[in-house]
Structure 1
């Protein structure tokens, strides 16, 4: 098969893990190619996510690199076997690949934790609120593209219905009060947020202005926990598009931010009361 032109973040991640495994014990690409019965370009393509790897070859790769971590290898083997088409593949060519990769990340995660300071997290947005967020992008999106992105975002939310998994959202008061679309849209959004907070597995934690500061206050981050910690991923919003972080040192930093944020944020029940207070502040505004 010819190399993939645009490997997904998940395909790239498998390649990253193959390269880490090889480099950890100092095996050269040339030696690995000889062991697998292939050539150097093929090894490079596998490590870049541009070519897949069979389960048999992955086992040989692991043995050659002295990797005997059973749960980790099982998780990598599962990645090699997953060749299905998913709903998000229907959006390829219509929206940027990075946005599609978020849906793929969510689908395969064991649990999800998000921290937002400027707007409500995507999996919890109403259609009207999502449309208002996309309307604020610069440069402006054509109407049809904004509509496609809104539809994609709403379809992503089925992950909380069809495949429920632990989902924790830390939302700063600034995001809870930011009036994308105006007060009517925000009221509808906050009411929807209260309903979502009662879903099984969903926890919403508010971070009030009254806190002096909190870890990670300068950025929004999305932690997707994999089947083993080595396969955790953090997604960060940038003006150029989503960025996916895999380096262990960076992952550890974001795990610490999560732990520290948990310690200072309001609990689920307190957060619901806090959101109701903001709703009262919005009463009568139009």
Structure 2
């Protein structure tokens, strides 16, 4: 939505006026921190002059499909990027990754994940955050395995 707004030559303040919210809320909407309904997506698209109805329909469906999943239990424990990654994986049709320095997160065992977080590039983590990161990684792994075993 942000790219569509920018393509239309509008500011976040202009977009906020289209849906009667303040600029800060519009920024949160565009960043995906606040979800909106399909009607809001359609209003913004109309205000941006988007004429591709297929694109607008796809964006509206995406807005409706925004899921509050298992990863939300970690919202007060982990950085936002961890939650975003789990949500993106949840909605993905497939995942391709190449990592040459370590085993990909979705393939790590609990012991390996713990070692990665204990000895990684970040500063030493408090035990609670270390345990949360490992538990989150294991749930990502389990959710991915379950999802990939189910036909789409």
Sort the TM-score into its range (normalised by shorter chain).
Answer: 0.7 to 0.9
Q: Residues 57 and 141 of structure 1: is their aligned pair in 2 closer, same or farther, counting only changes over 3 Å? A: closer
User: Alignment partner of 1:46: what SS?
Assistant: helix
Counting matched residue pairs gives 148
Asked whether the equivalents of residues 88 and 104 of structure 1 are also in contact (C-alpha less than 8 Å), the reply is yes
- Within 1, Cα distance between the matches of 2:124 and 2:16? 48
Per-residue Cα deviation, 1:163-197 (whole angstroms, up to 9, x for no partner): 118xxxxxxxxxxxxxxxxxxxxxxxxxxxxxxxx
TM-score normalised by structure 2 residue count: 0.76
TM-score normalised by structure 1 residue count: 0.44
Answer 1 or 2: which has greater helix percent: 2
User: Alignment partner of 1:112: what SS?
Assistant: coil
CA-based RMSD: 2.9
Q: 1:1-286 alignment to 2 at 5 Å?
A: 17=1, 19-27=2-10, 32=15, 35-36=18-19, 38=20, 41=23, 43-49=26-32, 51-82=34-65, 84-137=67-120, 138-164=122-148
Answer 1 or 2: which has greater strand percent: 1
Determine which structure has more spread, i.e. the larger CA radius of gyration.
1
**Structure 2 gap ranges (5+):** none
Q: Residues 92 and 22 of structure 1: is their aligned pair in 2 closer, same or farther, counting only changes over 3 Å? A: closer
- Within 1, Cα distance between the matches of 2:46 and 2:56? 11
User: Alignment partner of 2:112: what SS?
Assistant: helix
**Structure 1 gap ranges (5+):** 1-16, 166-199, 201-286
Q: Residues 163 and 142 of structure 1: is their aligned pair in 2 closer, same or farther, counting only changes over 3 Å? A: same
